[in-house]
Every structure is written in C-alpha cells, then in structure tokens.
Amino acid sequence: MPATHDRALDALTRRGRLRALEPRRGIDFASNDYLGLAHAPALRDAVRDALDRGVAPGSGGSRLLRGNDPEHEALEAEAAQFFRAETALFFGGGFTANTAIFSTLPARGDLIVYDELIHASAHDGMRLSKTNSVAARHNDPDSFADAIKVWRACGGTGTAWIAVESLYSMDGDMAPLDDLVAIADSNDGVLIVDEAHATGVYGDGRGLGAHLEGRANVISLHTCGKALGVMGALVLAPHSTRNFLVNRARPFIYATAPSPLMAATVRAALRLIESEPQRRTDLKNRVALVSQLLAKHGRQAPSGSHIQPIIVGSDTAALTLAQSLQDRGFDIRAIRPPTVPEGTSRLRLSLTLNASDDETRALLAALAELEART
C-alpha cells in the first residue's frame, strides 16, 4: 500500500475519524429499516415464492445486453403505478441512481442549484457533470431563487435544476417542496427530489413529494433499501427522461443489471407498504413519543421525524457517548465530519419498528443519565 495511504489513515486515527466495520449488536437505533421490513416474514416468503417460480438471483449482464429481466419490467410498471408517475427505472442502489441522474440529465449551459446538505452521491454525480452547480442555503427557497436569478442575469439560458432531499438523513428535517416546485415552475426549471428517507413512511408510503409525482418538471428517487427493507432504487420520471437515462446514463448502461430476485422482492415490499398502513401509524406514534421525551429531558427541539440528531459537538465526545450506550445494549452510532459540518458531531437516533416503546424510553433515560455526568 502506498505510504500516503498509511499517513492518511494515521491522520484519521489521531483525529478520531477512522472508520471501521462494526458488527450488529444491541437494540436497533442505527439502521434505516424504519418499518422493520428487512426481516419481515412476508418478504422472506416473497423471496421463496420468486425462487419457486424460477426467478434468477443474477441477471447475467447489463439491461441492454441480455440482463433485462421480466421482473425488472414488472417492478417498473408496478412502481410507476404505485407512485403515480409516468415511468420508473430500476437501479442497483440509490448512490448509483443519484450519480446517474446528476451526471447525465443536466446539459452543458444548464445550472444545478443544490441544497448545501444534499447527499454525497449527488455531489459525485455533479462532479461528473458538464454543468455548473452552486449550493443554496439549507431549506431556504429564497436562496435557490436568488441563485437562479443571478445566473439568468449573467446570461444563463439553459435549464435550472433544483436538487434537494425531501427528508435530510442527518438532521431529520423536511424540504419546502411546494415552494421549490413553484420556483422551478417560474424559472422553466426541474425539481429533483431524493425521497430516500421518506419513501414508505410519508404520503401513504409514496414520499413527501407524492402530490408532485407525474409532473413534467419533477424527477424523484425512491430507494428500496431503507423503509422498503430490500435493495435498489427507483427513478420516477417522464417517459423522455427515462429514455434519456437508458441511452446516456453510464451508471445504467455499463452496470450489470440488479438481481431479478431483488426486483421481485421490491414488488412485494410495495404491496406490503400499501396493505399494512399500521406500520406507518406505529412509527408516527414512536416519533411523537420520542419528541415528548426529548423535550422532557431538555434536549434541542425534536426534528419531528424518525431521524433525530443528538448534537454533541466534538468527535471524541460523540464517540464516547455512543460507546457508552452501546455498552448498555443500544446500537446507536456517532456521526462525524465530513458527513456532518465541523463542530456538529452527533448521535443519529434512527427510529424503527425494530425497537419497542419501552426500549426507546430506556435509551433516552440512559442518554439523559450519561449526559448529566458530563
């Protein structure tokens, strides 16, 4: 290994930022399996049923070279109907799908205005794009509008692309989608909405932007590996956008197609999301409970969603607090820069149906006790 790699790893260690793979242990307050579907018997049954009817685990090639399976097309048809969009396109994962969207759709001479807290996959896609991009202040519609106005005043004549997450993965807050789509409408723009952490949970499972699906100037990304409990991602878009991705998106063209078996299982997950609304109700009640308990313990204002950041400050303090809670049987993880801004290292409290109300109360009591000691 090059010496530069060793030095870089040593530097991460000294700063308390070295990452390592850790086994699952304790009660789940860390995963994105919000509705508890990853281990649901119904999805296990769906896998067995798919295998019994001959669905293959592997695709054998890219979608354009014999890898296109009837299960992919069935999923895309059902997903378009479920999300009420014109079309859907299935990718192997959300990171790949985001990279494809941002590296392919905006053209030279366009402008991407993105929320400053948008996911790393969007940044990677923008780096591969031939398009100029500029950050807007987090959840500030005026900042988006001003960036487009300045660009137009400087001679920008292309398409303005507005890129946001509907629910932010580290802060748990929600984007002002109605304001942003209005800005897109008035500027001949396109709104790209990453629904990764809202899919399955909000809008009857269709996401926070469900009421915007089917519009000609809205593209949405729904990942399948979080609340849906499986893997992969679906891009919902107009026909022309889907066709353009199939023809131009290198992460789609040159990647082996996702597993047909997983496509079949995602189909089952969508049906489960629709047929079992009680899961969403239970999670909503869990969010209300945590909001009440956090207020009682004098913590910062609750996020109001199933993602609750517990801001600690320093990397070391966040790691120490996470380790203490893990020692008590709670699987909660510390999040540090560069994933979050400097000085905002935190515990990311992820609420799922994999923990009970009593276990959630116990976690927050332990957190209050440990913080009282510092």
pLDDT at position 371, please? 83
Taking a C-beta distance cutoff of 8 angstroms, is the pair 202, 235 a contact? no
Give the DSSP letter of residue 119.
Answer: -
Tens-digit pLDDT profile for residues 63-116: 999 999 999 999 999 999 999 999 999 999 999 999 999 999 999 999 999 999
DSSP assignments along 274-308, one per residue: HH-THHHHHHHHHHHHHHHHHHHTTPSPP-SSSEE
Segment 347-358 shows an average pLDDT of: 97
Out of 9-23, 110-124, 139-153, 242-256, pick the least confident.
9-23
Q: Say yes or no: 253 and 324 in one domain.
A: no
Q: Which is more confident, 372 or 66?
A: 66
pLDDT at position 361, please? 95
d(CA 148, CA 145): 5
pLDDT at position 9, please? 87
Q: Say yes or no: 299 and 154 in one domain.
A: no
pLDDT for residue 16 is more than 80: no
Q: Which of 275, 292, 327 is a domain's end point?
A: 275
* CATH code, domain carrying 336: 3.90.1150.10
* CATH code, domain carrying 103: 3.40.640.10
Output the average pLDDT for the chain: 95
pLDDT for residue 234 is more than 70: yes
- Terminal Cα-to-Cα distance of the chain (whole angstroms): 41
d(CA 360, CA 261): 34
Sign of the torsion formed by the C-alpha atoms of 226, 229, 231 and 235: negative
Q: Which of 255, 275, 295 is a domain's end point?
A: 275
Q: Say yes or no: 265 and 357 in one domain.
A: no
Residue 107: inside a domain, yes or no?
A: yes
Q: Say yes or no: 55 and 171 in one domain.
A: yes
Q: What angle do CA 317, 319, 324 make, to 5 degrees?
A: 95
d(CA 198, CA 205): 8
Q: Say yes or no: 260 and 286 in one domain.
A: no
Kind of pairing between the strands at 333-335 and 111-115: unpaired
Q: Say yes or no: 290 and 271 in one domain.
A: no
> Taking Cα atoms as reference points, which of 330, 328, 324 lies closest to residue 373?
324
pLDDT at position 1, please? 64
Segment 119-145 shows an average pLDDT of: 96
pLDDT at position 225, please? 97
Taking a C-beta distance cutoff of 8 angstroms, is the pair 245, 89 a contact? yes
Residue 10: inside a domain, yes or no?
A: no
Please tell me the total count of domains within the chain. Answer: 2
Q: Which of 241, 275, 309 is a domain's end point?
A: 275
Q: Say yes or no: 213 and 305 in one domain.
A: no
Q: Please give the radius of gyration of the chain, using alpha carbons only, rounded to the nearest integer.
A: 21
Region for 26 from its dihedrals, namely left if φ exceeds 0, alpha if ψ lies in -120 to 50, beta otherwise: left
Residue 288: inside a domain, yes or no?
A: yes
| Domain residue limits at 353 | 277-373
Give the H/E segment covering residue 89: strand 87-91
Segment 41-65 shows an average pLDDT of: 96
Confidence grade of residue 25 (pLDDT, cut at 50, 70, 90): confident
pLDDT for residue 157 is more than 70: yes
pLDDT for residue 15 is more than 90: no
Residue 65: inside a domain, yes or no?
A: yes
pLDDT for residue 301 is more than 80: no
Provide the annotated active-site residues.
32, 119, 165, 169, 194, 197, 226
Confidence grade of residue 185 (pLDDT, cut at 50, 70, 90): very high
What six digits make up the tokens of 21?
């793979």
Q: Say yes or no: 108 and 164 in one domain.
A: yes
Residue 184: inside a domain, yes or no?
A: yes
Residue 28: inside a domain, yes or no?
A: no
Q: Say yes or no: 195 and 173 in one domain.
A: yes
Taking a C-beta distance cutoff of 8 angstroms, is the pair 67, 59 a contact? yes
pLDDT at position 23, please? 84
Q: Say yes or no: 209 and 333 in one domain.
A: no
d(CA 34, CA 123): 25
Q: Say yes or no: 226 and 354 in one domain.
A: no
DSSP assignments along 299-311, one per residue: PSPP-SSSEEEEE
Residue 138: inside a domain, yes or no?
A: yes
Residue 33: inside a domain, yes or no?
A: no
Q: Say yes or no: 206 and 355 in one domain.
A: no
Segment 112-126 shows an average pLDDT of: 97
Confidence grade of residue 46 (pLDDT, cut at 50, 70, 90): very high
